[in-house]
Amino acid sequence: MKSFLISAAFTLLITFSTFGQTSAPQLTENEVREAKELAATFFNDYQKTSDIGPLIEKYFVPDFGRRLEFCRKTTECEGFARDFWKQDNELIVLNATRTDSIRQYAIFINLFYLYYGSIRYLELSSGKSSAENEEAFGNVVRAKLKIILKHEPQILALDPFENPDQPALKSKSVEEFRQHMANYEKFVGALRIVERELRKDLMMLRANTKLALSAKDFRAKPLVNDRRFFEFPVGRQMIEVWPEKHDIIFKMEMIKQNGKLTIVVLYPPID
């Protein structure tokens, strides 16, 4: 996996800046409401599926795969809190398909979502702060992973949270790359079992816990990029949305096309 995924996993801060952006017109109340409602609907669906893969077609811009490729082969998508989008030509060199790019993206996002979702459920179950107990909570998650993957040590060894210094896997061919992705999908599958188990435990212990999100749980602001972020023209207005609280470690950019608001991309803010 990418070294930035591994090295930043425990140091993410949701911070925002005007770097890489120009002044944008203020959003109307309706635009803010619409953006927040879309964010809440998306995350509630994500909570049900625990898999971003099937949600991409439903919520993201129609040509997401092409725009994803653009961001990996240029520096146009980099910037403050956007190091997730550093130029990476690996898939281009391997002649990988857009399906490969989307598959890799889904694995990255699911890793973050499922791991930190598991931490969140442990926090809510215990009543203890994850900021002060993240290592202990992480140990609980990893202990469960070790049980699930006890007969597949090569898959368990991929854990980027247990092994933050492991070198990124390099593929010599697109076939080898796809095998690496298949292995990571097995790890993500085990992590999904842990996340759902911890969610079930939480609801048994604290049945009144509210997990569903609403529009008020998010913030939104106008955004105009001074680069061709996701291949949209310089100066094209977007809406940046992020959670009011830090228990969801993502932000998203949205855009309105043909009267419909859609998600351009969701990613962890890494700098």
The whole-angstrom separation of Cα 213 and Cα 200 is 18
Q: Say what the pLDDT of residue 246 is.
A: 58
pLDDT tens digits, 214-269: 999 999 999 998 889 999 999 999 999 999 875 667 899 999 998 999 999 999 87
Question: In this structure, are residues 143 and 118 in contact, taking their beta carbons and an 8 Å threshold?
Answer: no
Q: Kindly state the average pLDDT of the residues 116-141.
A: 91
At position 250, the amino acid (one-letter code) is F
Instruction: With residue 237 as reference, give the H or E element that holds it.
Output: strand 237-243
User: Among 119-123, 173-177, 214-218, 244-248, where is mean pLDDT lowest?
Assistant: 244-248
Domain that holds residue 161: 3-267
Domain count, the chain: 1
Q: In the chain, what percentage of residues exceed pLDDT 90?
A: 66
- If we measure between CA atoms, which residue out of 56, 57, 51 comes closest to residue 189? 51
Q: Say what the pLDDT of residue 9 is.
A: 39
Q: Say what the pLDDT of residue 161 is.
A: 87
Burial of 57: CB neighbours in 10 Å, binned 0-12, 13-18, 19+: exposed
pLDDT tens digits, 153-163: 999 999 998 87
Per-residue confidence band for 3, with pLDDT thresholds at 50, 70 and 90: very low
Q: Say what the pLDDT of residue 22 is.
A: 54
The whole-angstrom separation of Cα 183 and Cα 198 is 23
Instruction: Tell me how far CA of residue 173 lies from CA of 7, 167, 176, 179, in angstroms.
Output: 25, 18, 5, 10
Query: What residues contact residue 38 under an 8 Å CB cut-off, 6+ apart?
Result: 59, 241, 254, 261, 263
Q: Kindly state the average pLDDT of the residues 98-111.
A: 94
Instruction: Tell me how far CA of residue 214 lies from CA of 36, 81, 200, 210, 217, in angstroms.
Output: 8, 25, 21, 10, 6
